[in-house]
Amino acid sequence: MSTAYLVVTLITIAANAWAAAADFARAKFVLANSDQLGLSRSWLPLLGGLKAAGAAGLLLGLVGVPYVGVAAAAGLALFFVGAIVVHVRARVLGKIPIPGGFLALAAASLALAATAS
């Protein structure tokens, strides 16, 4: 396991765990963002669950189930591509760097996990 894979994946896990917790807690910024994007607040538990599942899958990949880590990284990458599509659809272009950063982390984790497997 390379140091880059470990560091990038741990950052990706922490970022997605934090984002999932914010979704579950219905943080003010999450509610404001959902409203701006036109997303129903009823979606927040599902979105938080997907982020949490991705973080858990990445952790499993680190501790010895590499294909789960690859699948989790791919799932998170697809999730954040969808988030960018939602931002574009809603014309909330100024906030695209946020899901873009999460996408970059997921993509880097995917690339590093795929080469580590």
* Domain range for 99: 3-116
User: pLDDT tier at 32 (50, 70, 90 boundaries)?
Assistant: very high
For 73-103, write each residue's pLDDT tens digit.
999 999 999 999 999 999 999 999 999 999 9
Band of pLDDT at residue 116, cut at 50, 70 and 90: confident
Contact (Cβ atoms closer than 8 angstroms) between residue 37 and residue 87: yes
Provide the percentage of residues in the chain whose pLDDT is more than 70.
99
Q: Which residues contact 51 (CB under 8 A, 6 or more apart)?
A: 16, 17, 19, 20, 23, 76, 79
pLDDT band at 117 (very low <50, low <70, confident <90, very high): low
Q: What number of CA atoms fall less than 13 Å from residue 92's CA on the CB side? A: 20
What token pair was written down for 95?
Answer: 């906030």
User: How many domains does the chain contain in total?
Assistant: 1
